Each structure stands twice: as structure tokens, then as C-alpha cells.
Structure 1
Amino acid sequence: MNNTDGSMYHRPPTALIVIAIILVGINLRPAFSSVSPLLADIGLSLGLSASAAGMLTTLPVACLGVFAPFAAWLAKHYGTEKLVIPLLLVLAAGLALRGVWNTASLFLGTGLAGMSIGLLGILLPSVIKREFPRHPDLMTGVYTMALCLGTALAAGLSVPLHQVFGSLPLALAFWSLPVILAALLWWPLRHLVSRPAAIIADRQHPLPLLRDSLAWQVTLFMATQSALAYCVFGWLPTILQDRDVPAVQAGLFLSGSVMVQVISALLVPWLSSYLRDQKLANGIMFALIYIGFMGALYAPVAHMWWWMALLGLGQGGGFAMALTMIVLRTRNPDQAGQLSAMSQGVGYTLASLGPLLMGLLHEASGNWDQAGWLITAITLAGLYHGSRAGANRFVLESAKSN
């Protein structure tokens, strides 16, 4: 293969590409799930109000949406693979900055981490679409599995790390170390593909997607499932602790639920590829999420593992299907990148309202009883948009098929 400068380029082994994508994926969620099991202790240590604690869980999700639209411009001018290492280093710096123990550093580090994760989350699906054109749904499942694994590790280890280090700052800053490892592993892939300038210049402008109904359905499907996911990541351990579950056990419940996500993240996209469309798969995932979340809120704690299993199956499959929609509803990697930027940019911005509203409801009522109404409303919206996004069509062609 020739590079743009005329030199011969040899593609790294496929196994290395897969391992690198997995390791990067693992590092894209600890910024979220490492905080929630320690949120009560963080609030007490820094004197955060309930609203400020809610903002801490909302900020990284909002950053995902705010910075996502810049990913396409950066990829066009600098190349997707060349951006991964700098963004990973910014992510590591943000996570490390959380170890400088004051409110400003905590929020600044969280914001930097959210920015980096938002950009990387847009770039990687287009790499998957290009490097694995024959099985993009399967590789999307593998990538989602990596995200789930990273979430579970951070949720399950945060409290034990706090106990081992005897320090909240060190427990939070620890997660910068595996990010550096991922950057080192990506080094051989930094020149994975260098697109000819003429092809880059001919990329379609993303604005037509804003007028495409299917693109909006995919975006709102992403928004609703992400809103539920970040309500879980941000508040589930606190909800369980308020139900007299010990902090370590609450973290393990979240970790166990996320580990279950790995099963559905791998299987659901693969199984759905054999269906005529993905409407049924999307609907089942939202039903499982709803049942599991209601169980976590209201069912006896003695049966919590059953509700965590249902919640995990729904969320793992739901997120995998949201990413799969980006791949299956586009014709080429450029469209996939544009739809990824739109669905995650707009979707995560809307999704950030979920944990924020959940925190405000709790602060206003003093309990979690009203949260069920919010979860119900989000689920109903998700069922509708998931059905519409699951139709077997392509963006920018939906008008022709109507």
C-alpha cells in the first residue's frame, strides 16, 4: 500500500488493530464510572452540594456532545489515526488532574476527560467501518464489549482502590495509567491509513444529515439509551447506598451489571444482523433496561442481582445497537463518521439532561421515588425512536424509499 508521500506502507496485523481498539475502548468509560461509587465521599470531602455533585456526573456527558462535532474537522485536517494518541494523552492528563484535590481541578479534569472521550468516540466507529468492512456489526460489538469492560472495572475497583490507597485523589487519578498504556499500543497504528487529499476534499458536508429524518431517529435513539445509561453510571451506586446497600456492594452491583453488558454487546448486534431489520432488537433492549431500572429503584434489595442482570443485558445490547445503527444506516466510512458526529454530538448533549434531571428531582423531593417517572418518559421515547431507527434504510436515501 502506498502512503500519500509515495512511500510504501505496510498495514499492521489485524490482531494488533483489534487489540488496540479494545484497549482504547476500555479507557473511554472509567472517567464516568469511577466517580459514582465515590460520589458521596467526594461530596463530603470537598463540600459539594447535591446540585454540584449532579453537575459532576453531568459534565463529562455534556462534553461528549459539545466536542463531538469537532471530530470530523480534526479528522479531515490531521487524520483519524494521528489524533488518537494526542487525545489519549489529554484524557490521561484530565484523569490525573482529578488527583489535584480541589473543586476546580476536579471539574477541569473531568471536562478534559469528557472532551477527549467525546472526540475519540466519534473517530473510532469510522475506523471500524473502514478496517472491517465485511463485519462492521461484529467489530462494533467487540468495541462495545471493551467499553463495558472499562466501565465495570472502574465501577468495581473504585472503592477498593480508595481503601488501598487511603486517598480519594489517588483512587481517581489511578485511571490515567491504563490510558498511557493504550497510547503506547496505538503508536504503530498512527499511520494506519493516510487518505489522499482529493478524497478528503470530496467528503460530503455533514449538513444534509440535519435534514434527514432517519439520521434524526438514529440520533434520538442514541440520546435516549445514553440518557438511561448515564443515569445508571452517575446515580445507581448512590441510589443503592440510600437503600442501605454498603458502598462496596453498591459499586459491585454496578460493576456486575456492566459485566453482563458484555454478553449482549457481543451477541445482540450479531443476532440482529440476521433479522430483516433491527426494530425488534431495539425494542427488547429498552424493555430490559426499564424492567431492570425499576427493580433497582423499587424492588427488594435481596433480589438486586436479578435486576442488575436485566439492566446490564438491556444496556449492553442497547448501546451496541445504537453504534450499530450508525454503521448499518450508512453507505461508506465518511457517512459513518458524519452520522457518528451527529448522533453522538446531539445525542450526548440531550443525554446529559438525564442525570441532571435525576439529581434535581432527588434534591427537590429528598428521595428517589419520582425518578421512576423520568425513566418511564425516557423509555417511551426510546421505544419510538428505536423502532424508527431500526428500519432497514440508509441515511440521505430515506426520502427515496418513502
Structure 2
Amino acid sequence: MSVTRAVQPALEPKVGRRTAATKYAHPALLLVGIVLVALNMRACLAAVSPMVVEIQRTFGLSATASGLITTVPVLFQGVGAPLTPRLTRRFGTERVVLGAVLALGAGVLLRVLPSVAALYAGCVVIGVAIAVLNVSMPGLVKREFPQKAAAMTGVYSTTMLVGATMAAALSVPLEHALGGGWQASLGAWSVLALVAAVAWLPQVLKARQERTVAVKVPAQAAPAALSKEAGTSPWKSGLAWQISVFMGISSLLVYTLVAWMPTILADHGMPRGEAGLVFAFSNLVQVAGAFLVPLLAGRMTRQRGLALVMAALNGAGVLWLLLAPVSGAWFSATVLGLAQGGSLGLGLAFIVLRTDSVLGAARLGGMSQAVGYLVAAAGPVGAGALHQLTGGWDATLLVLLVLAAVAAVAGWGAGRNRTV
């Protein structure tokens, strides 16, 4: 293989880049594929929450073991994220996305087999598959929509939350409609993964044809470009660490409150039915934040103020939950929904705004999401342990307040007009 061909993937965003209109049969097919893939990326996680009690009863699991059903996928999102840039360089982003979607569907089916081992093995497969998609999709968006990367990130992050909301709302009705218990309800989400895989297949086929056409790069420029790309490591960048900390703490706040917010409200006297409605409303509001914040970020040279606003809203929502958990529940749900959805969108926007190449976006995505999800996995478990130790929720909420302040500091650094 010539040096020109060897460095082609690394240089594609900068030299001889093909537009989405020429690379794909039709840009609408790419957009449909992105939306359908994004719908899957949170749906299978959100679908399991209403089913945890039934799963626990089926297998006779303890409360701790039941908690692992939601914690294991988050943990393995962090473990799998650093592997993705290597996969995309070797196989191409299109094939990696297709493989991850198919693996996600397989993990969903594995999770519903009549075995505890299969249950947790399915959770591992789901976590790794989502990790691969988490890292590869921002780079793909950056490559195919370079002038509208932030706006497309808003569409992508919003679609993920729509999928989560849809799955949480439909899990119980699906159980009744299909008549197969929690296994049928959770297994049905493999169909959505199959639909996404079919919709994505034209991109894989077209990319295979395009790989036969070499992008022309001057031979004398190739070694220097290759050296530059190979020597870039986000793990040695302070900016990359600030982005990772911002994403990690933001994710920790989300997953902690996803796990415990309804319980916090119920423990303070709110009826469980109303607590569930408050929580569902908060998830719905996240959609607005996830869509609007990346759009705003893309119009700004620096996003420092936006990051501070997101951290402040997170802090305000947690503080109100601490001071007035029942009377202020709907206010807290609104503020936290905007903050959590907006922080997700802003974190993903940082990946495309703070890098100048597809490979750089993949590497930063791998690092930030590895750190982010490993930190996030500790949130629900740590919050539960602190609650058990203190007998209440005040200490947990105070810790979340402190972490929101840390996120503000990290976001201030991440919002600088620099690239990794």
C-alpha cells in the first residue's frame, strides 16, 4: 500500500474531502440513518427501568444485584469508548456503526434469555455497543456536516433522548400488548435496532465503493501529516481533560437522578404515581435542552458562558430539590431537565467544536466518554451508599451541589476557543 493510501483516513477531513451529497446516494438517507441509530442509543437502557422489579422477582435478585442491571451498561460504555478510534481507523466508520447497531440488537436479545448470566452478559454487550456509537457518531457528524456540525449534534442528541422517553413510556404497555412479560417487552427493542441496521446498510455499501477511489495527497506531505496525526494524544491535553470532567460530572448528575429522583420525592411524602410523573416530565424537558443548547453553541466562538449556565441550572435544580423536595418538585424537574439535556448536547458539541479533524474528534470522543461514563457509573451506587449511611438524602444532594460547581469550573475551561 502506498503512503498516500495509508494516510488517507487521517487526512480525509482536510484534503480532498468528499461531501455527503457525493459520498452517499442521497443526503436524506444519511440523515434517516443517523436518526434511527440515535433512537437506539438510549432506548434499551430506559426501557429496563420500569421492568427492574419484575426482573428482580424472576431471578430472585437482591437490590444491589438489581442495581447492576442499569449500572453495568454505563460502566462498559466507559470501558469500551477508548477502543473505538482504533476500530474506525481499521474498518471505517460506516462499518463500525453497522456492527455496533447489530451488536446492540444482539445484546437486547441476550438480556432476555432465561439466565442470570445471560442477563448481565447482555448488559455488557449493550454497554460496549453504545460506547462504540457514542464515540463514532460525533466524528461522522463532523465529517459529513462540517458547516452544521453543532446543529446536527443537537438533532442527534435530541433523538437519543426522544428514544429514551419513548422506551420508558412504552415498556409497560408493550408488556401488556405482547403478553410475554418483561422478556417480550425488552426483547421488542431489538426490532428497532434491526430497522436502524437496514437503514444504515446503504451507507456501508456506498462507502465500500468509495474506498476504491484514492484521495490525492502529495507524497512529500504524507509523512509529515501522518506524524502529526499519530503524535496527537488527547490524554495529554488539559483542554481534553476539562471536556472530559464536564461530561463526566454532567453524566453522573443525570444517572444519579435517573436512579433516585422518584425515590427522593417519595421518601419526602409525594405519592409514587406523582413522583413518576414528575420524573417523566423532567425527561421530556431534556429534549428541549438537548436540541437548543448545541444550536446556541455552534453560533458562539466561545461557550464558557453557556457551560456556566448549564452548571448553574444543575445546581439550582439540586438545591431546590434539597430545600423543597415536594412543593418545588415540578420546578426542580423543569430546571434539571433543561440542564441535563443541555449539558449532554453541549458535551457532544465540544467534541466537534474543539477538534479540527475526524480522527481528532474520534480520539477526543473516546477519551471524554471513557472518563465520563466511568465517573457516571459511580453516581447511582455512591448515592445509594451515602443514603444508606446517613439515613436521608441531604448529604447526597449536597455532594451533587459541589459536583455541579466542579462542572462549572471544567466547563469554563472547555468553552475556550481552542482545539485539542
Q: Which residue of 2 aligns with 1:32?
A: 45
Work out the CA distance in 1 between the residues paired with 2:63 and 2:323.
22
Q: What whole-Å deviation, never above 9, does each CA across 1:285-328 have from its counterpart, x for those lacking one?
A: 12222333444566343553332221111111111100111111
Q: 1:34 to 1:237 in 2, by over 3 A?
A: farther
Which of the numbers 18, 27, 51 marks the counterpart of 1:14?
27
Q: Percent same amino acid among aligned pairs?
A: 37
Which of the numbers 135, 152, 160 marks the counterpart of 1:139?
152
Q: Which residue of 1 aligns with 2:343?
A: 318
- 1:229-308 alignment, distance < 5 Å: 229-243=254-268, 250-296=275-321, 299-301=324-326, 303-308=328-333
Aligned length: 388
Q: Which residue of 2 aligns with 1:42?
A: 55
Q: CA deviation at 1:258?
A: 2.1
* Residue aligned with 1:29, SS: helix
Q: 1:70 to 1:300 in 2, by over 3 A?
A: closer
8 Å CA contact retained: 1:330, 1:336? yes
Q: 1:190 to 1:236 in 2, by over 3 A?
A: farther
Work out the CA distance in 1 between the residues paired with 2:354 and 2:364.
9
Extract unaligned runs of 5+ from structure 2. Answer: 1-7, 9-21
Q: Which residue of 1 aligns with 2:189?
A: 175
Q: CA deviation at 1:276?
A: 4.0
Q: Which residue of 2 aligns with 1:341?
A: 366
Work out the CA distance in 2 between the residues paired with 1:259 and 1:370.
27
Work out the CA distance in 1 between the residues paired with 2:387 and 2:172.
23
Work out the CA distance in 1 between the residues paired with 2:262 and 2:108.
21
Q: CA deviation at 1:24?
A: 0.6
Work out the CA distance in 2 between the residues paired with 1:275 and 1:65.
29
Q: Which residue of 1 aligns with 2:101?
A: 88
Work out the CA distance in 2 between the residues paired with 1:274 and 1:289.
23
Work out the CA distance in 1 between the residues paired with 2:376 and 2:187.
26
8 Å CA contact retained: 1:137, 1:327? yes
8 Å CA contact retained: 1:62, 1:348? yes
Counterpart code for 1:346: V
* Residue aligned with 1:337, SS: helix
Q: 1:57 to 1:187 in 2, by over 3 A?
A: same
Which stretch has the larger CA shift, 299-308 or 245-254?
245-254
Counterpart code for 2:198: L
Work out the CA distance in 2 between the residues paired with 1:172 and 1:247.
23
**1:372 matched to 2:397:** yes
* Aligned-CA RMSD value: 2.6
Counterpart code for 1:154: A
TM-score (norm 2): 0.84
Q: 1:235 to 1:107 in 2, by over 3 A?
A: farther
Counterpart code for 1:356: V
TM-score (norm 1): 0.88
In terms of Rg, which structure is larger? 2
Extract unaligned runs of 5+ from structure 1. Answer: 396-402
Q: CA deviation at 1:247?
A: 5.9
